[in-house]
Structure 1
Amino acid sequence: MSRNDAASTRAASTRVTSTRVASTKEALLHAARDEFAEHGVAGARVDRIARRAGVNKERIYGYFGNKEKLFDAVMKLALDEFAEVTASPADDPAEYVGRLFDYYREHPSLLRLLSWEALQGRDMQLPEQQWRMDLCQGKRDALAASLGHEPSDEDGRLLLTLKALAMMPMAMPQLATLLGVSVDDPGSAAAMREHVMAFARSALENSAAAARP
């Protein structure tokens, strides 16, 4: 075999290995998302994650280090996907609330992951802290721009409230049931979506009016 042939063979082998590693990591991340959403970090089991992914559990330690770091990687993936789909509140903040409502309803695992993260008992230094802060504050600034003023703490409070409006029916399904609200039925979910958007629009109008000199 010539030197060029040997180099080509090594390059091809490296590409195959890289593809296999990427595929295994992806399988582990998706299996871990289901496991963490269902059981949280403390209750999740690496053997179940590995079994769901169809790989040896030692791959988890080799690729991610430990269960907590795997959870962090799952959160990064989930939030990346969320950020891509939900865009920003700049054009129509009330419609943004509607998009959030749709996403939370269609991806219930995200709310469960966020809830488990909040219950972990960590200090306030989150993994990917700066990336997450930049993302959130960028949306806050976009909201302020849509309302015609410079960003302030009030815009942060407003955006947090808008997000809470969108997620509450799915985050607290037991309370929604007690109040006779369903987000499982498409018609009822559509009515709830319109309600939170109308509520958001009213709040935004009041906020804009209060900000005028």
Structure 2
Amino acid sequence: MPAAIGRMPCFALPIRLRSIATTAGSRMIRTRSLLLFLLCVGLPICDAVEAPNVVPIDDHLVTSGQPTRESLAQLGAEGFQAVVYLAPSSVEDAIADEADILRGQGIEFVHVPIVFRAPNAAEIDQVAAALDRLAGKKVLVHCQINMRASTVTFLYRAGYRGEDPAKAFESVTQVWVPEGAWKQMVIEVLAARGVDFDPF
């Protein structure tokens, strides 16, 4: 299976497939679209999390917005071993007993509450330390709509794990382009970590 399919955000698939189906009239194109859809439906990493803006990074790392209560209750069955939650517990769509739901399945819960309007580099260090410790485990990093999570995970991959920053940043642009305080933090963290890359 092409690697690109595995990294495609699940929420984007219906849009892309609908576009293919409506812009091409041939039966072959429609058949290929259906096959592509069925292939992705069969990917466990796509089905594993019911949440906004799910972006699989690799077999062990996924970012997303807030999963539903039902999805949280199934993460253990989907093979997840840890969840890193990056929004404050006071946000409107937070699930108050998320930690209990996860720990009841033997899933480690790490909470680094990042205030959206005021992220800071110390919080990135905290997340990086947690992800380093969880290396080799299947981890979900989530916030509300995957703006915090996608950006922080990018900074970890590019600044702490030494991955290609341009490639790592693709997982951010599937969700948004950081602006304001987040744009400034990205620039500062990359510079502090010695990463020569300007995503803006």
What is the TM-score of this pair, normalised by structure 2?
0.22
What is the TM-score of this pair, normalised by structure 1?
0.21
Point out the structure with the larger helix share: 1
Which is higher, the Rg of structure 1 or of structure 2? Answer: 1
Point out the structure with the larger strand share: 2
